């Protein structure tokens, strides 16, 4: 801040801050948006900046890690006094902070862009052919969460504690089945706590395979040790789908992509002391319903592993499914699966062929009470 009037130099460690500062033409200590190691270049450059008469604003999300260590070097910086300590940063927040920091001479971008009108709505949904859809449809049905278009909501029967992964999207309609989401591995701990606190409703914890291995094993051991009667459902798509299909110990693929020893979830769960374990094909709707219903009704700790491939990684598409209009009575039950390929317009419900994975899924086909959904190219369509 030359002459105590303007902020001239910022230590930047988020892509939002890099974007704002590029727009403002302000100098930064980051290179191409990459974090500079505190123990190396950043120390030299921060000290050099301080000797040059510049004040520093450290832009970082959550805790003031870099700000704290830079202050420990005896260098005065601005940071969490104007940057929020909680929540995710965005361009607007950083722009506002730059204004508070009196970064004015660089010409802040005050242009406000209005949203483009007429764009199609796209609610947050699981992918077409997702192996989690069937499981969540079953939970939604058993827990009285799913509501048909124009229907009335019913009192929920289950409490479903969620975790960090693609499956968190099941909190949104039409599935509407995730009640809590804290941090990685929190689902099992939340469920145990609710049960021990005396909550009467049956509590179900859902957690993905990679999240379970990363942070859920200790929760399961806690459930065994404390004789919890919750139901834990492990959604096993044999990948880390949400963040880019990285391998994890349960896939047998190392971080470098090499084959390695695969940790078998079944053995891991049984080794923790769980006696009631069921492994179910995630695309077999009747088996899912029967297995999950039995696990929820169990008087002891139960674990269900719902296993199915992630469609964006492993399964090739086949001929898409379609709806035979002469058989469909527009009951809309298929919409409750939450598949983005199943859509509705003025002409009724239809399946968008470009999104459907075909025979790799068939959840909607299994669900349809009128047997109106068929594979395109089939010789005949069978009704009731």
Has residue 155 got a pLDDT over 60? yes
Number of neighbours of residue 324 by Cβ within 10 angstroms: 15
Burial code of 347-366, b = ≥16 C-beta within 10 A, e = fewer?
A: eebebeeebbbbebbbbbbb
Give the integer Cα–Cα distance in Å for 127 and 341.
Answer: 9
Would you state the structure tokens that stand for residue 10, as one six-digit string?
């910022």
Has residue 18 got a pLDDT over 70? no
- 292 and 139 in contact (C-beta within 8 Å)? yes
Which of 48-62, 77-91, 175-189, 347-361 is predicted with the least confidence, judged by mean pLDDT?
A: 48-62
Phi, psi of 331 (to 5 degrees): -75, -20
Label residue 69 exposed, middle or buried (CB < 10 Å: 0-12, 13-18, 19+). Answer: middle
CB neighbours of 349 closer than 8 A, spacing ≥ 6?
A: 323, 328, 330, 332, 334, 335, 342, 343
- 339 and 311 in contact (C-beta within 8 Å)? no
The single residue listed with the structure tokens 């674990």 is 303
Q: Which residues pair with residue 343 across a beta bridge?
A: 350
The CATH code of domain 9-100 reads: 3.40.50
pLDDT value, residue 227: 97
The CATH code of domain 132-307 reads: 3.40.50.970
Q: Do domains 9-100 and 132-307 have the same CATH topology?
A: yes
- 57 and 29 in contact (C-beta within 8 Å)? no
CB neighbours of 247 closer than 8 A, spacing ≥ 6?
A: 239, 240, 253, 254, 255, 257
Burial code of 198-231, b = ≥16 C-beta within 10 A, e = fewer?
A: eeeebbbbbbbbbbbbbbbbebbeebbeeebebb
- Rg of the Cα atoms in the chain: 26
Would you state the structure tokens that stand for residue 30, as one six-digit string?
């980051």
3-state helix, strand, coil in the chain (%, to 5): 30, 15, 55
Nearest to 314 by CA among 36, 127, 123: 127
pLDDT value, residue 111: 62
Query: Domain segments of the chain: what residues?
Result: 9-100, 132-307, 321-375
pLDDT value, residue 110: 56
Summarised one tens digit per residue, pLDDT across range 230-259 is 999 999 998 998 888 888 999 998 888 889
pLDDT value, residue 203: 96
Q: Residue 205 CA to chain centroid, in angstroms?
A: 15
pLDDT value, residue 272: 97
- Rounded (10°) CA dihedral 206, 210, 212, 214: -140
E-strand stretches of the chain: 9-12, 56-59, 77-78, 158-161, 202-208, 231-236, 276-281, 302-307, 321-323, 342-345, 348-351, 373-375
The single residue listed with the structure tokens 């598409």 is 317
Nearest to 283 by CA among 359, 354, 225: 359
| Segment 338-363 mean pLDDT | 92
pLDDT value, residue 6: 44
Give the integer Cα–Cα distance in Å for 355 and 237.
Answer: 19
pTM of this prediction? Answer: 0.75
Instruction: Give 35's DSSP letter.
Output: P
Assigned fold of 321-375: Alpha-Beta Plaits (3.30.70)
Give the integer Cα–Cα distance in Å for 101 and 115.
Answer: 28
Has residue 139 got a pLDDT over 90? yes
Summarised one tens digit per residue, pLDDT across range 257-279 is 889 999 999 999 999 999 999 99
- 133 and 338 in contact (C-beta within 8 Å)? yes
**What is each CA distance from 307 to 75, 246, 282, in whole angstroms?**
53, 17, 5
Nearest to 165 by CA among 268, 239, 250: 239
| Segment 336-346 mean pLDDT | 92
Give the integer Cα–Cα distance in Å for 250 and 210.
Answer: 7
């Amino acid at each position: 801040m030359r002459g105590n009037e303007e902020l001239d130099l910022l230590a930047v460690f988020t892509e939002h801050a890099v974007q704002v500062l590029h727009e403002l033409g302000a100098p930064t200590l980051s290179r191409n948006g990459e974090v500079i190691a505190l123990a190396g270049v950043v120390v030299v450059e921060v000290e050099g900046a301080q000797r040059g008469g510049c004040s520093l604003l450290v832009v970082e999300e959550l805790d003031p890690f870099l700000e704290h260590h830079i202050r420990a070097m005896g260098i005065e910086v601005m940071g969490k006094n104007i940057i929020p300590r909680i929540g995710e940063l965005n361009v607007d927040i950083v722009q506002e902070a730059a204004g508070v920091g009196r970064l004015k001479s660089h010409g802040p971008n005050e242009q406000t862009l209005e949203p483009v009108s007429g764009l199609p709505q796209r609610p947050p949904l699981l992918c077409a052919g997702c192996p989690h859809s069937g499981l969540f449809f079953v939970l939604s049905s058993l827990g009285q969460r799913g509501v048909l278009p124009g229907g009335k909501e019913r009192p929920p029967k289950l409490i479903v504690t969620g975790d960090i992964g693609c499956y968190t999207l099941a909190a949104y309609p039409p599935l509407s089945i995730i009640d809590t989401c804290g941090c990685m591995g929190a689902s099992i701990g939340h469920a145990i706590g609710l049960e021990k606190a005396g909550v009467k409703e049956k509590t179900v914890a859902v957690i993905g395979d990679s999240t379970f291995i990363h942070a859920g094993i200790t929760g399961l051991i806690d459930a065994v040790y404390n004789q919890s009667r919750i139901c834990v459902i492990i959604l096993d798509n044999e990948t880390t789908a949400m963040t880019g299909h990285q391998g994890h110990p349960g896939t047998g693929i190392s971080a470098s992509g090499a084959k390695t020893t695969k940790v078998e979830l079944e053995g891991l769960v049984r080794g923790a002391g769980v006696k009631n374990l069921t492994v179910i094909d995630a695309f077999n709707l009747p088996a899912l319903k029967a297995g999950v219903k039995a696990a929820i009704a169990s008087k002891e700790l139960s674990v269900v592993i719902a296993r199915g491939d992630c469609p964006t990684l492993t399964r090739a598409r086949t001929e898409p499914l379609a709806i035979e209009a002469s058989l469909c009575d527009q009951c809309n039950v298929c919409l409750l699966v939450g598949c983005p390929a199943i859509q509705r317009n003025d002409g009724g419900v239809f399946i968008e062929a470009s999104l459907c994975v075909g025979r790799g899924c068939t959840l909607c086909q299994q669900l349809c009470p009128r047997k109106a959904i068929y594979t395109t190219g089939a010789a005949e369509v069978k009704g009731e």
